[in-house]
A = this chain, B = another copy of it.
Amino acid sequence: MQIKGEMLIGARAVRGQGRVIRGINPATGEALEPAFAGGAQADVDQACALAAEAFDSFRETGLEARAAFLETIAENILALGDDLIVRAMAESGLPRARLEGERGRTMGQLRLFAAVVRSGNWLDVRLDPAMPERAPLPRADLRQRQIALGPVAVFGASNFPLAFSVAGGDTASALAAGCPVVVKAHSAHPGTSELVGRAIQQAVADAGLPEGVFSLLFGSGTEVGANLVAHPAIKAVGFTGSRSGGTALMQIAANRPEPIPVYAEMSSINPVFLLPAALAARGESIAKGFVGSLAMGAGQFCTNPGLVIAQEGAALDAFVQTAATALAEVAAQTMLTPGIHQAYSQGTDQLQQHAAVNQAGVGIAAAGPNQCQAGLYVTSAEAFLADERLAEEIFGASSLLIKCRSTDEFARVAEHLEGQLTATLLLDEADTELARGLLPVLERKAGRILCNGYPTGVEVCQAMVHGGPFPATSDSRTTSVGSAAILRFLRPVCYQDLPPALLPEALQDSNPLGVRRLLDGRNGG
């Protein structure tokens, strides 16, 4: 499939008239062909009007039809073949193996949501039968199901050009819920976006769905993105990116005549607590595992371990030494964009210049454009608690170690943190009571708590929470990864005394969809 530099508005392919966007190969600085011209308000209007038009029909597609549609998207993405991988490599600087793995993850997500759609649990069917004889007042027949929220705006993320972009988790879960999707492509990988967009556009046509189920726009976040979020047809927003970008969308959404929910996954430094018994017993292997997690993919993960908390002493000194040795062998890796590389360099420069921070170790120096030199920095709990800036995310392979005088300071450091995607405990059995004391704080601060592992690596499954209190996300009640992500795009409707002929299939007495139901308050009805 050829990349033509075109937006996809329903069934059409359209050249924009706005400012030109080009993919840039961060490994060389080379600007890639073709040019993509950004969209204008008229393009936003058209995509949103088509989405609104498609909504009532798409949201009532049968479970099987909608599941098959998601599976077709996965197949069409695979059918793009190596062209997709080659283009994504050029636009992101990410290596082939990573992108092939990410393609598998993207397809796996679509297939998981196909299974979720088929199960029908998300319909959350609740039936309260009529009680005509009840005194003093009879009870009506009341039935509840979940329906789709409406057309959803999705913003592609830079750091997962496949799995969190055009056909990523937000798009997959919104389509699964029955919401048409209008994607604002990330300007860092427009060619990859067009290819994947065409795969979805083809799937819409293959399934005979209304064309407005999917559109893909190019343009800047402040123009096309902001106009999209402000459009009256849009009823929810999915976003993965920076804190400033996410909070800007939250403000636009809150100030609309009809405010809408924004699901923004933004900023997290993912604290890792090294508990004393574990640190003493196996500090060396922990240090090596930690550096592996820190340096993976140039640290460009939302769940990158940006903060380590441990008690000072010989065991920690040994940990630092092992980590520094491991870091010294970490090759510099190309970052996703020149902008991301520049922000990383500024962030680590500020750490280096901070009076209370020391450098504990660095990776191999950059040997080409936009390369990330990994780094581990050290400060005291006292200094950390005194300076809010030290808790800000530096996107990339850098981490700050907080030396505590005693483990009593662990909870204070934890309480001081803003909301996080993850919190990690490295522990041995002797650390159990200390961990038990920390857990309530960590539960309040993070969406996922993990033991004896590292936060990078987010399983796509039923139990995953990739979310957390602000600013990790804009809405701690949700996850953007895993099957529960579908719940973001649903709302309940109650049907009272509807004639059987008008009842939605999910709510009919005979349970033709075979879904899980709560019948008069009892499970399994």
> Does A518 touch B at the CB level, under 8 Å?
yes
> A142 and B491 in contact (CB under 8 A), knowing A149-B476, A449-B496, A450-B497?
no
A250 x B261 contact (CB < 8 A) = no
A123-157 interface code vs B (CB 8 A; 1 in, 0 out): 01011100000001101101110010110000000
State the CA gap A324–B501 with chains docked (Å). Answer: 34
Chain B CB count within 10 A is highest, among A457, A491, A494, for: A494
Residue A469 CB within 8 A of the other chain: yes
CB-defined contacts of A439 to chain B, threshold 8 Å = 502
23 A–B contacts, CB within 8 A, in A order: A101-B136, A115-B521, A119-B521, A121-B523, A126-B484, A128-B459, A140-B450, A143-B463, A258-B418, A258-B469, A259-B470, A436-B502, A443-B493, A447-B491, A447-B492, A447-B493, A449-B493, A449-B496, A450-B495, A450-B496, A465-B493, A477-B492, A524-B524
Are B523's CB and A516's CB within 8 A? yes
Instruction: Contact check, B450 vs A476: say whether CB atoms are below 8 A apart.
Output: no
Provided the pairs A447-B492, A457-B137, A470-B258 are in contact, do residues A463 and B144 lie with their beta carbons within 8 angstroms? yes
CA distance A464 to B128 in the complex (A): 9
Chain A stretch 423-475: residues in CB contact (< 8 A) with chain B: 427, 429, 432, 435-436, 439-440, 443-444, 446-453, 457, 459, 461-465, 467, 469-471, 474-475
Q: Which of A480-519 contact B (CB under 8 A)?
A: 483-484, 490-499, 501-502, 516, 518
Known A463-B494, A492-B465, A492-B467: A453·B259 in contact at CB below 8 Å: no
CA distance A444 to B151 in the complex (A): 12
CA distance A139 to B440 in the complex (A): 25
Q: Which residue of B lies closest to A521 (CB)?
A: B462
Q: Does A56 contact B (CB under 8 A)?
A: yes
Number of chain A interface residues as a range: 35 or more
Min Cβ gap A189→B in Å is 24
Most chain B Cβ neighbours within 10 Å, of A427, A432, A521, A523: A521
Q: Does chain B have a CB within 8 A of A251?
A: yes
Contact of A492 among B150, B261, B479, B516 (CB under 8 A): B479
Tell me, in angstroms, the Cα distance from A440 to B127 when the chains sit together.
20
Output the least CB separation between A140 and chain B (Å): 6
Which residues of chain B are within 8 angstroms of A521 by Cβ–Cβ distance?
115, 119, 461-462, 483
- Closest B residue to A436 by CB, please name it: B502
* CA–CA, A10 and B347, complex, Å: 45
- Residue A281, interface by CB 8 Å: no
- Determine which of B55, B128, B427, B484 lies in contact with A461 in the assembled complex, contact meaning CB atoms within 8 Å: B128
